[in-house]
Structure 1
């Protein structure tokens, strides 16, 4: 897998961040306004050092129900403090009052007419502590973050998507070629997503490099690009929609290869086809090439040489990619693992 490149590479900014419960906080932003009545109970939970699946398994065991009976909208990091919403049948409301777990806190409950489904969230609000930041770099970080929010962030899949090393990518390629057989459906779907994501990231890298070369670091639109509007609808306009792009009404998309999805045309297709597997039988998708971080807030604590940066991203996007773009470097899981102090 090739290095993730970014649109603005004019300066390097020095900081460290760690994926720990104290330094990495994520709050789910839901699209739905819960009605306050209905046959389902919506539970707003805060969890620490647990994956979403871990948390769901804990509730499933407590209620004595299959994990599939618990609804959730998105998957959250383990090494973080995160809040998210889950749903269960309202008949478990009384039982929930006695629930206790040292890594899970129930913040609020409310009734609703239907269960939460995967993808129901609008985005996530991140609050991340950046360490070893001096006063000058603090200002640079905020300035850079706001510039990215204006011009757009390349919507790469972050390092978390691909596992701890590149073995998963190799395994995915071998499975697609038929060289190995994977029986477990969950693992198979995971490997397919890695296969599609690798192609997408490599396509996006080429488009970013082209934009830096020919468009002064602003994302370069090409004839035949496929665009997504604010409702999620896709189109391939005959005339390049520059004005709609600049007003953020339309955003260009990249291909997650597979069947039953739009392909680009003309000039855009010449690049896209290098990162397409037209024989892949799984469902294909389009993914926004750019996203726009919102509601950026920065608070600098001079005594601790720490900057707390908060921002909101659309669902499916990676906070670590935003930080990579600011730092002008790629991160791995090893980079964000805190060093254990020697006794």
Structure 2
């Protein structure tokens, strides 16, 4: 598994991080709901259950097909998570009767469409670290300020790849090149997504190594305009481009290889093509190279050497990557 390389070069910090229901709490920041329509959106709090577990339980108790249940994002199993799901309005009575251990329906409202992946603004996290030495507090605060200013490398976290990373990537490669057939489409899609993510992480690690304090921009980079939500490639890296990047108006993106996706040009492409695979038939994507955490708060408990960090991240980014960046070391590979 590729090592996630971070911009800060401080000495690794020693603290304990456990991903469980008490130390890892996440809540979706939802889109604005219409308050009318043919779908019920439920705000659900769950413990020790992944999103697929939740959907399975809802499907069985409500007696509906799993594909009738909409969701905005996938949430970790080893956590306390609050997320939004949607079901057709006709199942309102069944939803009112729903009861299950570790699942609590906090609120319901109407919406005009089924929820789909990405129908959220971001996620707010509250993470507790253990065995944090008081002498590390200044360094942690400094790192968080630097990340807020210069950005957090937007790696896919270790959760993306599962426990058998090497084996999964080999299976994905065999799928792509026709040496392996997997009938379960969900599994085959997951394997190829891991393969695409591996390329992105490898590319990003190289770009971070090439950068110094601030992420280096290259001729031919594909940028995303935050306001317009559009991709573009400037002819040259002008002063205006650099300024817009510093103001967090635009962001360079990295490739998740596949079909129908913009690819970089010039010098940026020379590097990117080392982390590309033109045989992938799944749709490709571009992913922000950096994300900017917001609403950061920390609270230290001297008596038991625990530190609570609260922060908000854009959708599809990983809180564990932020914690790794603070520690300046990979937790799992």
- Distance across 2 between alignment mates of 1:206 and 1:323: 20
Indicate the residue corresponding to 1:206 in structure 2. 206
Task: From 222, 228, 237, give the equivalent of 1:226.
Answer: 222
Q: What is aligned with 2:40?
A: 41
Name the residue aligned to 2:245.
245
Q: For residue 137 of structure 2, what is the aligned residue in structure 1? A: 138
Q: Measure the CA separation in 2 of the matches of 1:234 and 1:219.
A: 18
SS in structure 2 of the partner of residue 320 of structure 1: helix
Q: What's the CA shift for 1:269?
A: 0.8
Structure 2 length normalisation: TM-score? 0.95
User: CA separation in 2, counterparts of 1:10 and 1:51?
Assistant: 34
Per the alignment, in what secondary structure is the counterpart of residue 304 of structure 1?
Answer: coil
TM-superposed CA distance for 1:304, in Å, is 1.6
- Contact 1:157/1:318 (CA < 8 Å) preserved in 2? yes
2:79 match: 80
Instruction: Give the match for residue 50 of structure 2.
Output: 51
Displaced runs of 4 or more, over 4 A: none
RMSD over aligned CA atoms reads: 1.3
Contact 1:27 1:83 in 2 (8 A): yes
Structure 2 contact 47–77 (Cα < 8 Å) conserved: yes
Q: Is the 8 A contact 1:146 1:296 kept in 2?
A: no
Aligned to 1:299: 299
Instruction: Please list every run of 5 or more consecutive structure 2 residues that lacks an aligned counterpart in the other structure.
Output: none
State the 1:316 CA deviation: 1.0
SS in 1 for 2:270: helix
Q: Post-superposition shift, 1:33?
A: 1.3
C-alpha separation between the residues in 2 aligned to 1:66 and 1:97?
A: 18
| Farther off after superposition, 15-24 or 171-180 | 171-180
CA distance in 1, matches of 2:217, 2:128: 35
Counterpart position of 1:95: 94
Instruction: Establish whether residue 315 from structure 1 lines up as the match of residue 315 from structure 2.
Output: yes
TM-score (norm 1): 0.93
Once residues 282 and 100 of structure 1 are traced to their aligned partners in structure 2, the CA distance between those partners, rounded to angstroms, is: 38
> Is the CA contact 1:210–1:220 (under 8 Å) kept in the aligned structure 2?
yes
Cα deviation, residue 174, structure 1 = 2.0
Residue by residue over 1:231-265, the C-alpha shift from the partner in whole angstroms, topping out at 9 and shown as x without a partner, is: 42100011311011000111000111111111111
The answer for the alignment partner of 1:337 in structure 2 is none
Q: Distance in 2 between matches of 1:118 and 1:317?
A: 13
Task: Return 5+ residue gaps in structure 1 as ranges.
Answer: 334-343
* Partner deviation per Cα, 1:74-115 (whole Å, 9 max, x = no partner): 100000000000111222223333222121001111112222
Aligned runs of 1:1-343 on 2, under 5 Å? 1-30=1-30, 32-165=31-164, 166-211=166-211, 216-230=212-226, 231-240=228-237, 241-332=241-332
Q: 1:40 deviation in Å?
A: 1.3
Report how far residue 191 of structure 1 moved.
1.0
Q: Distance in 1 between matches of 2:114 and 2:18?
A: 34
In 2, distance between residues paired with 1:186 and 1:112?
Answer: 27
- Give the Cα–Cα distance (whole angstroms) in 2 for the partners of residues 191 and 96 of structure 1: 33
User: What CA deviation, in whole Å up to 9, does each residue of 1:100-155 have, x standing for no partner?
Assistant: 21210011111122221121012111110010012221232122112111101111
Which range moved further: 250-259 or 88-97?
A: 88-97
Aligned length: 328
